[in-house]
């Protein structure tokens, strides 16, 4: 048995078994990524789809995803590869839904798409950091070819994991899903303080944009958005200079999905109003899914 240090769960994993995220295992007494190089999604996407509004707008990026996640959001849009029962099947080497792509092959594939406007690689779809070793190794090779790397993450990872990948990541979109312990702990199965620490460190060395999905009855109050945006505005660079007001925030509309079908889609007027509230503190606020 060995202890995983990727996130706050600190799973104690038995030899050849899987941790909570369904993507990390133990081999010869050491915790490793069971999903290393095992891709379930590969597409050339507009950069705005990540979403990134202020990082090479108009470009495209080769987006890749694996399987596994360390949260349990009931409205997950990619539940089949993130945390449903089917996810366990992806760990089977014989799975017909998984394609192995080495870091070298991924970097070469991204390079071949530069003629179609591709600027690099985006690690997305599932939670990339449950297999951060693949992100690190692939991103390093993409950098060597002069390309950019993007991480789309829930930010639920330890600072040592972030430090390991940060030299090779050029931009991130990080979910700041809400701003209360109740929402993170009881609804998402996460840890707000870990996400905040992740964001605080990331903004010092990387272009960061944030996304908040507004869920009716959960995180849709003006008070919570005001607190969230005020905290973002307070973030500083390495020298202690306040840079948070320049960090883009994407305020997105919820649609009923997966295990959260008990409420309607967020009213668009509510999304627009919360975006106005966020603009009290932040310069760049965008609305999504409206």
**CB of 204 closer than 8 Å to CB of 241:** no
What average pLDDT does the segment 97-104 reach?
Answer: 95
- Give tens-digit pLDDT for 142-155: 999 999 999 999 99
DSSP 264: P
pLDDT above 90 coverage of the chain, percent: 95
Provide the pLDDT confidence category of residue 37 given band limits of 50, 70 and 90.
Answer: very high
CB 282 within 8 A of CB 226: no
CATH number for the region 37-288 comes to 3.20.20.70
Helices (H), the chain: 79-82, 103-112, 132-144, 159-165, 181-182, 192-202, 222-233, 268-278
Angle, nearest 10°, between helix axes 132-144 and 103-112? 50
pLDDT of res. 70: 98
Chain centroid to CA 200: 15
The reported pLDDT for the residue numbered 11 is 98
Mean pLDDT calculated for residue range 1-28 = 97
Residues 237, 243 contacting (CB under 8 angstroms)? yes
Arithmetic mean of pLDDT, 160-185: 98
Compute how many other C-beta atoms are within 10 angstroms of the C-beta atom of residue 34: 26
Query: Where are the domains positioned within the chain?
Result: 37-288
Q: Is the peptide bond before 172 cis (omega within 30 degrees of 0)?
A: no
Chain segment 43-54, per-residue pLDDT in tens? 999 999 999 999
What pLDDT, on the 0 to 100 scale, is given for residue 233? 98
pLDDT in the model for residue 38: 97
Quote the distance between the C-alpha of residue 231 and its chain's center: 20
Q: For the segment 102-129, what is each residue's pLDDT rounded down to a tens digit?
A: 999 999 999 999 999 999 999 999 999 9
Q: 60-87 burial string, b = 16+ CB within 10 Å, else e?
A: bbbbbbbbbbbbebbbbebbbbbbeeeb
Beta strand pairing call for 38-39 and 99-100: antiparallel
Q: In the predicted model, what is the mean pLDDT of residues 265-273?
A: 98
Tens-place pLDDT, residues 240-266: 999 999 999 999 999 999 999 999 999
Q: Which two tokens stand for residue 184?
A: 């993170």
Distance between CA 114 and CA 119 in Å, rounded? 6
Confidence of residue 36 (pLDDT cuts 50, 70, 90): very high
Q: Is the pLDDT of residue 172 over 90?
A: yes
Q: Which of 77, 165, 67 is nearest to 121 (CA)?
A: 165
pLDDT, one tens digit per residue, over 68-94 is 999 999 999 999 999 887 788 887 777
Residue 196's φ and ψ, nearest 5 degrees, are -60, -45
Residues 105, 47, 96: CA angle, nearest 5 degrees: 45
Q: What is the DSSP letter of 178?
A: -
Given this model, what pLDDT does residue 88 score? Answer: 80
pLDDT, the chain, mean: 97
Q: Which pLDDT score, from 0 to 100, does residue 194 have? A: 98
What is residue 156's predicted lDDT score, i.e. its pLDDT? 98
pLDDT for residue 85: 78
């Amino acid at each position: 048995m060995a202890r995983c240090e990727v996130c706050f769960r600190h799973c104690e994993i038995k030899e050849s078994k899987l941790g909570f995220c369904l993507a990390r295992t133990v081999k010869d007494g050491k915790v490793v990524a069971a999903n290393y190089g095992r891709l379930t999604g590969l597409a050339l996407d507009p950069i705005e789809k990540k979403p990134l509004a202020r990082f090479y707008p108009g470009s495209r990026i080769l987006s890749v995803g694996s399987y596994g996640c360390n949260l349990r959001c009931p409205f997950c849009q990619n539940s089949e590869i993130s945390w449903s029962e089917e996810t366990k099947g992806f760990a089977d080497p014989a799975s017909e839904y998984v394609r192995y792509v080495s870091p070298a092959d991924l970097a070469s594939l991204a390079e071949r798409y530069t003629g179609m406007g591709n600027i690099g690689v985006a690690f997305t779809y599932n939670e990339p950091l449950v297999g951060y070793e693949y992100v690190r190794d692939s991103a390093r090779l993409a950098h060597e070819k002069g390309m950019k790397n993007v991480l789309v993450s829930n930010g639920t990872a330890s600072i040592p994991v972030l430090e390991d990948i940060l030299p090779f990541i050029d931009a991130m979109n990080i979910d700041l899903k809400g701003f209360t312990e109740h929402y993170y702990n009881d609804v998402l199965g996460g840890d707000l303080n870990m996400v905040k620490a992740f964001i605080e460190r990331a903004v010092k060395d990387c272009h960061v944009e944030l996304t908040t999905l507004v869920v009716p009855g959960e995180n849709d109050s003006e008070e919570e958005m005001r607190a969230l945006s005020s905290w973002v505005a307070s973030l500083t660079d390495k020298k202690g200079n306040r840079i948070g007001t320049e960090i883009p925030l994407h305020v997105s509309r919820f649609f009923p999905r997966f295990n959260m079908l008990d409420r309607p889609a967020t009213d668009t007027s509510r999304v627009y109003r919360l975006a106005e509230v966020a603009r009290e503190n932040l310069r760049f606020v965008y609305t999504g899914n409206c």
